Structure 1
């Protein structure tokens, strides 16, 4: 829907922003052109970055990054800017569900970033994850994943400025896209365009064919998937969702089905998964705090007027 806006480009999910941030020491001081070239080649050539799905000229992008500002955020921003330019657009975004727990990192890279949190019924999210060909974890991790997303969203809503964080519900968006997208555009400082309600026209171009799990983007906006958890989840899975996520679900207007309380072993499995994820994340955050003290070069992008304004304050 956002990619259907005449001024905004949102590519298929990329995988170089967060990994590139944590690999920044590998590339060295980006004030050295040779190190910017190393970073650019990694973005373009590494199979895990998903760069090929942007359909950009890799050699040209490498030279653009070498010639650009000497920061990690600038290099990544140039890649997204180039993607937007091939569609004749001036703004860009990026989408990955896991970004919800990397907001601090993303703000370091892009100080003027705006965050859009799309919330969907947790039971539908769990059902969807179960069916994804790339999802390898069990239902307990899926349940915890949604709980974390909601908890982080609440934290961001509380701590981020009003012009940096926007929240909307999937069910409202599919039921009345024009109204919901008009509100989103107001937050983004853009004029609403009716083309946003017909994303299938750009999906044929922007969504890679191998991503069959995004096939619904090729049709009209529909509410058919809302509440489909009733037939896609087993009764015991519904119990797990509603027992563990109950308060969070109801806080966003998702009514419980009246399923019986989940078995103790299932609840404990969720708690174990949550603890494991929490400690892994804390270890990573601690390492990053230490690493920030010895960064080889500036991180923040220096591509937009607002970003350069933030730099001037420093």
Structure 2
């Protein structure tokens, strides 16, 4: 089962809910599936080699899970290897009887046709969220758009892809849910999703305890596993400026209304001026550069810690000058960005 949509729309929460069901499991996001899947999903390969390719993929490291020398025997498709990996992951977690794998990487919205062909029995859930709330969340992370205009285009592109999915699949393979409805009435929405997709509903889904957030994404997913907080739905109204809201609506207002949300400015919303556009481009460039430097620091820190562990020393002494220089550059870049 694939939960798709725009990032920061609640895919991890929905994955945790569905993964709480009987004989279901939600794993950490699996970007390596789309990255490594062969052009012909029916291609037969040696399963052990497929697992080697997966475990060598940088994104698999985020699973925080090692299979050691364990490998499947024989031949099969790439998805046969993935299924073996999921069952092995489940067994380590005490889940021996798995019928449904919940993959909640929202970026799969860009690979849905290939995934549908590779997994002819798979189900897809398209989760959508008010684009202004998504933008408010995206602007806070260090991997997404850095201006309100780029956030509007980022959101609209991915929502449009998810909406087009409906025409590619049989009715019992596709469902859509609004994040706000999921928070307000989880029991009703989960029952509807399961009924549409012909999947068994489990009361345990409502508690959303079916996913253990890995350390690498714990900061951005800190609310997963906690009590649902519908009061956070409208936080964007206090955290975005009125001008940011207006620009967002000027770019993608019709799409917001198509999904059932109300506009704040309506037809009076004004696009950004030339000066505002220039400023946003500068912010996008500087903040994007700063984010790449932060990523380099984090990678360097991880390598230093591994090197220190191998040498029996402490990570604090590994590459101190390099990390210090990068940190200083990040601080300087931060001062250039005027919010």
Instruction: Tell me whether the two structures share a fold, i.e. TM-score over 0.5.
Output: yes
Q: Residue 31 of structure 2: SS of its match in structure 1?
A: coil
Q: Residue 167 of structure 1: SS of its match in structure 2?
A: strand
Q: Which moved more, 1:75-84 or 1:158-167?
A: 75-84
Contact 2:64-2:214 within 8 A present in 1 as well = no
Contact 2:145-2:154 within 8 A present in 1 as well = no
Question: 1:156 — aligned with what?
Answer: 165
- CA offset at residue 151 of structure 1? 1.4
1:39 matched to 2:50? The reply is: yes
- CA offset at residue 51 of structure 1? 4.3
- CA offset at residue 133 of structure 1? 3.1
Give me the CA root mean square deviation: 2.7
1:18 matched to 2:34? The reply is: yes
Following the alignment from structure 1 to structure 2, what is the Cα–Cα distance between the partners of residues 78 and 151?
A: 33
1:3 matched to 2:13? The reply is: no
Number of residue pairs matched by the alignment: 256
Q: Residue 111 of structure 1: SS of its match in structure 2?
A: coil
Q: How does 1:60-209 map to 2 (within 5 A)?
A: 60=70, 63-64=71-72, 67-85=73-91, 86=93, 87-88=95-96, 89-135=98-144, 137-199=146-208, 201-203=209-211, 206-209=212-215
- CA offset at residue 3 of structure 1? 1.3
- CA offset at residue 164 of structure 1? 1.3
The TM-score with structure 1 as length reference comes to 0.73
Following the alignment from structure 2 to structure 1, what is the Cα–Cα distance between the partners of residues 181 and 145?
A: 30
Q: Deviations over 1:91-123 (max 9, x none)?
A: 112111211121111123212211100110011
1:49 matched to 2:59? The reply is: yes
Relative contact order: is structure 1 or structure 2 higher (C-alpha 8 Å, sep ≥ 6)?
1
Question: 2:225 — aligned with what?
Answer: 218
Q: Deviations over 1:104-163 (max 9, x none)?
A: 111232122111001100111111111123336543332112111221122112332101
Contact 2:175-2:197 within 8 A present in 1 as well = no
Q: Which runs of 5+ in 2 are unaligned?
A: 1-16, 285-339
Contact 2:122-2:173 within 8 A present in 1 as well = yes
Following the alignment from structure 2 to structure 1, what is the Cα–Cα distance between the partners of residues 59 and 171?
A: 32
Q: Which moved more, 1:171-180 or 1:186-195?
A: 186-195
1:233 matched to 2:243? The reply is: no
The TM-score with structure 2 as length reference comes to 0.68
Q: Which runs of 5+ in 1 are unaligned?
A: 274-314
